Amino acid sequence: MADNATQASISDDLSNAPTKSKRILDWVKGVAELTKPDRIYWVDGSAEENDRLTQEMVDSGTLIRLNDEKFPNSFAAFSDPADVARVESRTFICSEDEKDSGFTNNWMAPAEMMENLNRVFDGSMRGRTMYVIPFVMGHLDAEDPKFGIEITDSPYVVASMRIMAKIGSDVLAKIDETDAFFVPAIHSVGYPLAEGQEDVPWPCNDEKWIVHFPEDRSIWSYGSGYGGNALLGKKAYALRIASVMAQDEGWLAEHMLILKLISPEGKAYHIAGAFPSACGKTNLALLDPTIEGWKAETLGDDINWMRFGKDGELRGVNPEYGLFGVAPGTGWSTNPNAMRAIEKGNSIFTNVALTEDGGVWWEGMTDEVPAKLTDWRGNEWTPESDTPAAHPNSRFCTPIDQLDMLAEEYYDPQGVKIDAILFGGRRKTTIPLVTQSRDWQHGIFFGSTLSSETTAAAEGAVGNVRRDPMAMLPFIGYNAGDYLNHWDTVTKDHGEANLPKIFLVNWFRRTADGGFAWPGFGDNSRVLKWAVERIEGTADANETAVGFVPTYESMDLTGLDMTEEQFAEAIAVDKDEWLAEIEKIKVWYDNFGEELPASMAQQFEELKNRVNAL
């Protein structure tokens, strides 16, 4: 399109915008002047619009429509093989002062970063449509709704954001009506099209920038179309920017699932759990308890915004509308609830394998492995192939209300009272199956020293132990020392009685012969039962140097073939392992320097003394 004609069409798109807000129009206009798209499209969020956009993506080869009988209204997408996960090395927190970003984040001075961004975004949307997506994280009728507007040149992002957040006309109307603050979030895949140039199914750029400006609460993302890099309501807003808002406003934005566990007597407990990416949040959130009479319902599988209620209790809300779950390992035997939700359709799968009858498959979905598949790279695949059929970080993106087990409190803007918090990671050794903290401070210590072997959810080597405080290492939008301090100060005045009990869990410990020490998945309900019985004061525990672990008798192992010796292996506290762990914690804590809260330094000293006395 000639430049004059493009400009005319852009000004039409602006004058026909569904908002009269000068603030929004000026911003959108400015982004269009920089990125130079062919047109601007205002996303209304309707089903008709989604049908149109997904059909366009089918026609252009970005999406494959799945067999409608097996997966209605569902699509598969395949990313560029170099764009398969969050890119932590290219993720920045650009505070004015470097100190406010801290050692866990990449930093660049805002002015210098803006020079970069102005360079890469200049003309980055040429030949494309610029979509404007108004969205809200959490409830539209919350007391203080958290709005955002994402500008993107990726229709895949529009369709995925529609699943993950509440988007469209109602949201824009509410922003207008209340003149509300919104987080401006700008995303470009960084693949402009020259006149006549043909597009590729998954446009992206080798150069990537995932940038957050905490002071003005804005987000710029360039070069990737994938997951947390591109769906900016999720990790970028609901964790990185929200953690900064939470620090200012006195609440907590956390990387946690929220589960409602109901006892045989009908008493409900709400359990939050912070596990690093690909360490079991979605699976626990969709738990199918294996113990008689206990039931579970889901509130959230990834993000938990916690505020203090009027009676001083800590309440949690899930700000998302969809599940963005790791596909491999999600199957009929491990997670039937996810499978039932997925089968209802309305989903986008990314980097899974395709079956011959127009369905999808991934490792662990069914016990039987299909004889022939098309793998995530588009190659023919058989069980003899030596690469996985689905990428290890392949994902299903599915509306959360398709879960049969969704708790009714999911719809309550006040959220639920959190009774327990679990911190968990993936550790082959050292960390017992479950440990209750000695008190609230000791629980924060659990979180601050949380560690896990790295997974495929982020680029880089898999399997190295790294510290991941509160499972927030890649998501704390400010100085990590200030973040630990915020956990401490924001909860200080509320008293142990109002605060949740804290537990450290490890579903991934290995036995001497290399197998898992604990069966995991639905059997994790046994650990949750023990935890709520600890809250009620009815379950026994042994006090160890690292906290309270269950006695063999106190853990309900009915129906499990687990001897006392095997259980002892799962909960063992080994002096040599802990001496080594203490050394590693020291190295980790040294990073904080002056910023380490005194209370955590003290917890560390106390742990050291207890372990040395073993």
Ligand X SMILES: Nc1nc2c(ncn2[C@@H]2O[C@H](COP(=O)(O)OP(=O)(O)OP(=O)(O)O)[C@@H](O)[C@H]2O)c(=O)[nH]1
148 binds, among Mn ion, ligand X, ligand OAA, none (CB under 5 to 8 A by kind): none
* Residue 159 to residue 75: CA distance in whole angstroms: 10
278/490 with CB nearer ligand X: 278
Query: Are the beta carbons of 439 and 496 closer than 8 angstroms?
Result: yes
Which residue ranges make up the site for ligand X (CB under 6 A)? Answer: 275, 277-283, 301-302, 325-326, 328-329, 334, 457, 507-508, 516, 520-521, 524
The DSSP secondary-structure symbol of 591 reads: T
Residue placing its CB nearer to ligand X in the complex, 145 or 325 = 325
- Which of ligand X, ligand OAA, Mn ion, none sits in contact with 516, Cβ below 5 to 8 A by type? ligand X
For residue 142, what are the CA distances in angstroms to 66, 259, 317? 36, 21, 10
Q: How far apart are CA 430 and CA 51, in angstroms?
A: 51
101 in a known ligand binding site: no
Task: Report the nearest approach of ligand X to the CB of residue 302 (Å).
Answer: 5
- Choosing from 75, 251, 324, 446, the residue that interacts with ligand OAA (CB under 6 A) is 324
The reply to whether 95 sits near Mn ion by the rule CB under 5 A is no
> Of the candidates 36, 166, 235, 427, which one interacts with ligand OAA according to CB under 6 A?
235
Q: Which of 88, 230, 255, 84 is nearest to 165 (CA)?
A: 230
Q: Which two tokens stand for residue 39?
A: 């047109």
Check the annotation: does 204 bind a ligand: no
| Residues within window 325-364 making contact with Mn ion, judged by CB under 5 A | 325
The separation between CA 382 and the C-alpha centre of its own chain, rounded to angstroms, equals: 32
Kindly state the smallest distance separating residue 132's Cβ from ligand X, in Å.
27
Residue 235 contact among ligand OAA, ligand X, Mn ion, none, beta carbon within 5 to 8 Å by kind: ligand OAA
> Which tokens hold the place of 76?
């598969």
How far apart, in Å, do the first and last CA atoms of the chain sit? 76
Q: Which does 507 bind (CB under 5 to 8 A by kind): ligand X, Mn ion, ligand OAA, none?
A: ligand X
Among 37, 184, 203, 227, binds ligand OAA (CB under 6 A): 227
CA-CA-CA-CA torsion sign (443, 449, 455, 458): positive
Torsion angle, CA of 591/594/599/601, rounded to 10 degrees?
A: 50
Q: Which stretch binds Mn ion (CB under 5 A): 163-171, 217-225, 317-325, 557-565?
A: 317-325
- The whole-angstrom separation of Cα 55 and Cα 77 is 13
Residue with smaller CB distance to ligand OAA, 129 or 351: 351
Active site positions, annotated: 279
Nearer to Mn ion, 126 or 281 (CB): 281
329 binds ligand OAA (CB under 6 A): no
| Ranges within 71-110 binding ligand OAA (CB under 6 A) | 86
Q: SS3 letters for 350-413?
A: ECCEEECCCCEECCCCCCCCCCCEECCCCCEECCCCCCCCCCCCCEEEEEHHHCCCECHHHHCC
Q: Is 282 annotated as a binding residue?
A: yes
Calculate the CA dihedral of residues 8, 14, 16, 22 and round it to 10 degrees: -150
Nearest residue (CB) to Mn ion, 239 versus 549: 239
Contact (Cβ atoms closer than 8 angstroms) between residue 274 and residue 424: yes
Q: Is 228 in the site for ligand OAA (CB under 6 A)?
A: yes
- Residue 461: Cβ within 10 Å count: 6
- CB 299 → ligand X: shortest distance, Å? 14
What's the CA gap between 213 and 237, in Å, rounded? Answer: 11
Closest CA to 117 of 52, 190, 10: 190
Contact region with ligand OAA (CB under 6 A), list: 226-234, 341-349, 355-363, 411-419: 226-234
Percent helix / strand / coil, the chain, rounded to 5? 35, 20, 45
CB of 54 to Mn ion, least distance (A): 23
Candidates 282, 374, 448, 506; binder of Mn ion (CB under 5 A) is: 282
Q: Which is nearer to ligand OAA, 358 or 388 (CB)?
A: 388
CB atoms within 10 A of CB 492: 12
What is the smallest separation between the CB atom of 209 and ligand X, expressed in angstroms?
Answer: 22
Q: Name which of 440 and 518 has its Cβ closer to ligand X.
A: 518
Instruction: Using alpha carbons, list the distances in angstroms from residue 485 to 304, 492, 598, 601.
Output: 19, 10, 9, 12
Q: Are 357 and 372 in contact (CB under 8 A)?
A: no
Beta-strand relationship, 146-152 and 182-188: parallel
* Residues 268-287 close enough to bind ligand OAA by CB under 6 A: 277
CB of 451 to ligand X, least distance (A): 15
Stretch that binds Mn ion, among 233-241, 244-252, 277-285, 597-605 (CB under 5 A): 277-285
SS3 call for 130:
strand
Tell whether residue 522 is among the known ligand binding residues.
yes
What tokens were used for 33?
């002047």
Left, alpha or beta for 334 (phi > 0: left; psi -120 to 50: alpha)? alpha
Kind plus residue range of the DSSP H or E element containing 472: none
Give me the least distance between CB of 143 and ligand OAA, in Å please: 27
Q: Which does 300 bind (CB under 5 to 8 A by kind): ligand OAA, ligand X, Mn ion, none?
A: none
Residue 457 binds to ligand OAA (criterion: CB under 6 A): yes
Task: Between 131 and 396, name the residue whose CB sits nearer to ligand X.
Answer: 396
The nearest distance, CB 137 to Mn ion, in angstroms, is 16
With CB under 6 A as the contact rule, the residue among 288, 302, 320, 468 that binds ligand OAA is 302
Smallest gap from Cβ 330 to Mn ion, in A, equals: 10
Stretch that binds Mn ion, among 12-20, 47-55, 114-122, 282-290 (CB under 5 A): 282-290
417 annotated binding-site participant: no
The answer to whether 283 is annotated as binding is yes
Tokens 């142990």 — which residue?
Answer: 496
438 annotated ligand-binding residue: no
Annotated binding-site positions: 86, 226-228, 235, 255, 277-283, 302, 393-395, 426, 521-524
Q: Which residues bind Mn ion (CB under 5 A)?
A: 281-282, 325
Give the residues lining the site for ligand OAA (CB under 6 A): 86, 227-228, 234-235, 277, 302, 324, 457
